[in-house]
Amino acid sequence: MDKLRALGFFCRVAETKSFAAAAYEFDIVPSVLSKAVAALEEDVHFKIFNRTTRRVSLTEQGTRYYDRCKRLLMELDEAELLERGGIAKAAGKIVVGLHPAINRVLMSRIDEFLTKYPDIVQELTITSTPATLLDDKLDLLVTFADLSDSSFGVQTIGTTRHVLAASPAYLERNGVPRTPEDLSKHVFIVSGRPDGPSYAR
């Protein structure tokens, strides 16, 4: 078994959630890809995928294995690029999820990144939960969260705080809250997603 090739197949199946779609991208027949992944499962001695007639999903062990394999393949590509070209030139596409509460701040400075890395194409989506890293096939998620899944690589890039704000007209109609208990009588607009953590607290 060509394990490196099998790892590439495995990662793409995990990202597309389809053996057929991954096989199409590699320009091979699905049976060849399926056999390579089956051989990989036999080699690692644990089940990587849950398979049904309609969908493919990672097992719990498969999810942890995918994260490590993806990083390994990316580091290998980077090492080869460095050795071939001396100083690597960043290029390609990166799929980024931005939390709705901070996406405007980041978007206002995105030109700095694009100027520095003109050969990188960014695909941006608004999202907030770590689960979307796999569900939405993200390369990177910028969010507010305490990540419970330690298999994700995490980097703190800054700190922030939440601020309650109200217009003068609203306060004139509804009164100025003096204590935290007074807030229960007020109406709020809170950034978030139905599948994300609630900031209403």
Mind giving me the DSSP string for 92-115? EEEEEEE-TTTHHHHHTTHHHHHH
What pLDDT is recorded for position 15? 87
Dihedral over alpha carbons 141, 147, 152, 156 (to 10 degrees): 60
Whether 90 contacts 119, CB under 8 Å: yes
What pLDDT is recorded for position 143? 81
pLDDT category at 175 given cuts 50, 70, 90 is very high
pTM of the model: 0.46
What pLDDT is recorded for position 169? 95
Domains of the chain, by residue range, sit at 3-84
Rounded Cα distance, 172 and 184, in Å: 17
Pair of tokens at residue 182:
């007074």
Pair of tokens at residue 93:
């596409």
- 98-127 residue pLDDT tens: 887 777 888 888 888 888 888 888 888 888
Q: Is the pLDDT of residue 178 over 80?
A: yes
Q: Residue 58's beta-bridge partner residues?
A: 49
- 49-83 residue pLDDT tens: 988 777 788 888 989 899 889 888 888 887 777 76
Across all residues in the chain, what is the average pLDDT?
82
Dihedral over alpha carbons 36, 39, 43, 45 (to 10 degrees): 120
Is residue 128 left, alpha or beta, with left meaning phi > 0 and alpha meaning psi from -120 to 50? alpha
Angle, CA 156 vertex, CA 153 and CA 158 arms, to 5°: 155
Long-range contacts of 149-158 (CB under 8 A, 24+ apart): 149/63, 151/63, 151/64, 151/67, 151/68, 152/67, 153/67, 153/71
The CATH class of 3-84 is: mainly alpha
Q: Is the pLDDT of residue 21 over 70?
A: yes
Q: Which of 108, 76, 70, 77 is nearest to 92 (CA)?
A: 77
